[in-house]
Structure 1
């Protein structure tokens, strides 16, 4: 029988979130601030920014048992198999010691053929961890990276305090669904989280599935967020959404970087172009769900643009890489660097690890990308 201590979940116990929103029963971590959320009316971005990729509770304690009540919001796609419950990774002094899931919670059903959504509210559940060593330690609970998670209550059998500052550098990263963690099996195995662990840095992950569209408010959020290292992985969602033509893309990238530089004038800043995606290398967007595959119970994507439209300004990944490399070179900023995304995942990798849905890498490839990014960025551009 445990003598439980309930500790309010406050910002000093949460890392990786930009803001905590009070709710009727707890707090909801956000990766974009409230002033941004008031500026847009985009259900996709609204959904993914509240999915806590890279967000974790971190506290010091002697507790041997921990309980965390949460209310998840799970996504279900009409006609497709339900995804598995999101995974919570529990680390003690940086080492994974347990994993857990929370059943129940809210369910958001999305009809990919029509775009219609329906929400069904459900109860909170509990993550339980026991048998921890009775010594002073740092406990981290990483939240499911693709499952919106309201934090309701934290209970332990010993007092907790905010995790001690270990003097680590803060890495601020922005990108698309691959950075968000699509197809990774748990929150610490996304390529971004794994790279942060390998490099010994604290990460703030502003990877937003389907939503890295050079929005000025994301640049302003990055401008205002303290960071020692910054990277932006740009381009794939611009093609996916067929969001802009080439003549608009180049000044939009310059403006995005200008805004970040207003708050971080000399911080090492790495621009990363898209990883290999064969269907969009030389074929423009938009990217659409493959409804024939969906009828078979599979989630796959297809390119629906016409290469004949390229002379009129339609974008492909090869064109985006060409523009990003030129932008970085033209800016003549000694602390601005460029990384071709195909160095993280390229043609040879696609042969051995094909994209399972034709757009996102598999779980093993997340680890491969993390290992390569650590060497190329933290031992390369960020080290110079």
Structure 2
């Protein structure tokens, strides 16, 4: 009987294990944030613009696009760049072109999305709609081909795969991560718009429709809304930023097919106020009276906060009304400093009050008269 010698089985080739890659911060070259619109829209990042239908979200994106195309205006002085407008709700012929012309855009630098050319199942060319996250790579290719500085998706939900649940964080990440990568890899600013939830009592950060990840994933988030005192007056304010202090809000009106932007900051149009309900005539009257009261009380310089509260109470002005008037007037609240003292009482002052030239390292000093 022949005895067979069994050779031991050869171990299968070991597959390399995945590795987590890190880098020491000492080896990271620091870079300043590169802004498309200083304080509002960073380059190479995602920016969200939220607002109810009809308040002017699209107008704002188009004003930004016009400014970028000519290198001046709303976004400041810079080299002109091309832009991409993926606008699902505005017709190019009767809406986009007239608006962009009125906004002073270089129309040769504004590229408007029309369709996606693809190959069908039988190898025949077909046209279809843009779909994210599947078409994120196509957007990257387009940005690189055209060298654009700005790409706008208005609104994001119109290009969202219907199978994705907007209220699930993991699902929304499947859309936002490819867009984040597209912005980072191309250096372009990618801006998308969303609608707001109906509730007016939620925190501003939770008002954007869909998952909170929408707001969490972007570096800056902007709200557009109407002035509660004057629905014809619109405003825009940053309500979330990981990159800089909030810039001062802006105000604008839409008249006769034109966007008229106020030349001075709209200090009264905070994000919370833009999201609030429209005020009644009686409420507006009370706030107007409180504004006049503060303007007169602070006319001669800063006044201690306690004294302001006391005078307001004597005048029959409720604290809630006083605070709304404070916001409307743009009153500045700071801790005062007297010679020989480290800190003094909190004081209120008008935004045009003259301040001393000395500036403390922590915060600006306000002298109490």
TM-score (norm 1): 0.28
Greater length-normalized contact order (CA 8 Å, ≥ 6 residues apart): 1
Q: Which has the higher strand share?
A: 1
Structure 1 or 2, whichever has the larger Rg, is 2
TM-score (norm 2): 0.29
